[in-house]
């Protein structure tokens, strides 16, 4: 299996003492890796570090063989991402926004704008100003931007936030399709554990800044009926309390 992302000993401490400590993780080509953890556990911090938005105090991120601190452009050249809730200049239209995104990538032709709009189901809204978009529509637009440069790795931080039920199902189908047809690898943080259970082949659990458990979903769930029960059990172990599931 080809390792396309390697995170080693990642540590970040904010001034308030929070952050992540000594997190190591590998992604293999074709993985759909789910990142689980309570609020404030460190998921966004970890994903921001993967994309160079935060520099680690210790540790390293290697994407496609390139260290993000030493060769940022090369490391990120096959990466698409959507971190935290999407923020836009909302007086422009969806089409204008995606055109500006496309202009960053020399290999992206303007036809790609319509392609990604169609993929996320926003074709009819191309001329609409973003300020008229719902939260879920903005999430879809951010996803369209993330897949614009034909990425091989897509990093998604809570991508289903604000999506309606149909949007969540579409999102799951879209990730599955992109994984199968384009061979795209995904790492996705989410609180929607049932979605992750259906979608992911591997999951990791972050608790208080540390990766406390990870593995193949099918192996982790050999003796436990659901990812939710596994997750709650692992959190209880980490907190040192008795297991109630
Ligand atoms: N810029 C910052 N300055 C200080 N503390 C921060 C900063 N960003 C995050 N934190 C703290 O670091 C911890 C990890 O935050 P992070 O956003 O990574 O968690 P998360 O797992 O993504 O949480 P959630 O599920 O609520 O989105 C939290 O306790 C948070 O308060």
Could you tell me the CATH number of the domain that includes residue 16?
3.40.50.300
DSSP reduced 3-state for 155 = strand
Structure tokens, 17 = 């003492």
- DSSP class of residue 50 equals H
Cα distance between residue 86 and residue 197, in whole Å: 24
In this prediction, residue 53 has a pLDDT band, given cuts at 50, 70 and 90, of: confident
How far apart CA 153 and CA 146 sit, in angstroms, is 10
Average pLDDT over residues 167-184: 88
In a domain, 192, yes or no: yes
- Final residue of a structural domain among 150, 174, 201: 150
> What is the value of pTM for the model shown?
0.91
Pocket of ligand 1 (CB under 6 A): 14, 16, 18-19, 37, 39-45
Count of the separate structural domains present in the chain: 2
Site to substitute for ligand 1 among 13, 21, 34, 42, most atoms within 8 A of C-beta: 42
Residue 108 in contact with residue 102, Cβ under 8 Å? yes
What ipTM goes with this model?
0.96
Structure tokens at 124: 């009819």
The residue whose CA has the least distance to atom 27 of ligand 1 is: 39
**pLDDT at position 244:** 46
- Domain of 222, in residue numbers: 3-78+151-239
Rounded percentage of the chain residues whose pLDDT exceeds 90: 66
Same domain, 69 and 164: yes
The pairs formed by 111-114 with CB atoms below 8 angstroms and a separation of 24 or more are 112/148, 113/148
Exposure of 159 by Cβ count < 10 A (0-12 exposed, 13-18 middle, 19+ buried)? buried
| Residue 6: closest CA among 75, 57, 70, 101 | 75
Asked whether residue 167 falls in the same domain as residue 144, the answer is: no
Mutation to probe ligand 1, out of 13, 19, 190 (largest number of atoms < 8 A from CB): 19
DSSP string, 109-122: -THHHHHHHHHHT-
166 in the same domain as 128: no
Percent of the chain with pLDDT over 70: 97
By C-alpha distance, which of 64, 27, 29, 30 is closest to 47?
Answer: 27
In this predicted structure, the answer to whether residue 242 has a pLDDT above a threshold of 80 is no
Q: Of ligand 1's atoms, which has the minimum distance to the CA of residue 47? A: 18
Digit-coded pLDDT (tens) for 215-239: 999 999 998 999 999 999 999 998 8
Cα–Cα distance between 96 and 151 in angstroms, integer?
A: 21
8 lies in a domain? yes
Same domain flag for 158 and 55: yes
> CB under 8 Å to 185, separation ≥6 — which residues?
4, 5, 27, 28, 29, 30, 31, 32, 33, 152, 153, 154, 179
Q: Are 64 and 77 in contact (CB under 8 A)?
A: yes
Q: Which atom of ligand 1 is nearest to the CA of 45?
A: 18
The arithmetic mean of pLDDT across residues 187-193, rounded, is 94
Tell me: do 145 and 186 sit in the same domain.
no
Whole-number mean pLDDT of the chain? Answer: 90
* CB atoms inside a 10 Å sphere around CB 84: 13
Least confident stretch, 43-47, 139-143, 207-211? 139-143
């Amino acid at each position: 299996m080809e390792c396309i992302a390697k995170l080693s000993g990642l540590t970040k401490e904010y001034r308030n003492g929070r952050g992540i400590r000594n997190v190591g993780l590998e992604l293999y080509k074709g993985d759909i890796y789910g990142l689980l953890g309570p609020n404030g556990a460190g998921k966004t911090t970890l994903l921001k570090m993967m994309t160079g938005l935060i520099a680690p105090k210790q540790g390293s991120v290697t994407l496609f063989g390139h260290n993000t601190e030493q060769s940022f452009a090369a490391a990120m050249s096959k990466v698409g991402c959507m971190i935290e809730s999407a923020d836009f200049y909302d007086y422009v239209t969806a089409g204008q926004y995606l055109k500006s995104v496309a202009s960053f990538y020399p290999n992206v032709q303007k036809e790609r704008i319509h392609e990604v709009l169609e993929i996320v189901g926003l074709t009819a809204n191309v001329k609409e100003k973003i300020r008229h978009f719902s939260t879920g529509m903005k999430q879809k637009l951010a996803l369209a931007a993330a897949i614009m440069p034909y990425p091989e790795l897509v990093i998604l931080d809570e991508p289903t936030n604000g999506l309606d039920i149909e949007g969540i199902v579409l999102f799951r189908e879209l990730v599955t399709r992109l994984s199968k047809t384009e061979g795209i690898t995904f790492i996705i943080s989410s609180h929607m554990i049932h979605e992750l259970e259906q979608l992911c082949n591997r999951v990791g659990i972050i608790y208080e800044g540390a990766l406390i458990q990870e593995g193949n979903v099918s192996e982790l769930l050999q003796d436990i009926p659901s990812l939710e029960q596994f997750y709650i059990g692992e959190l209880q172990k980490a907190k040192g309390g008795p297991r109630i599931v």
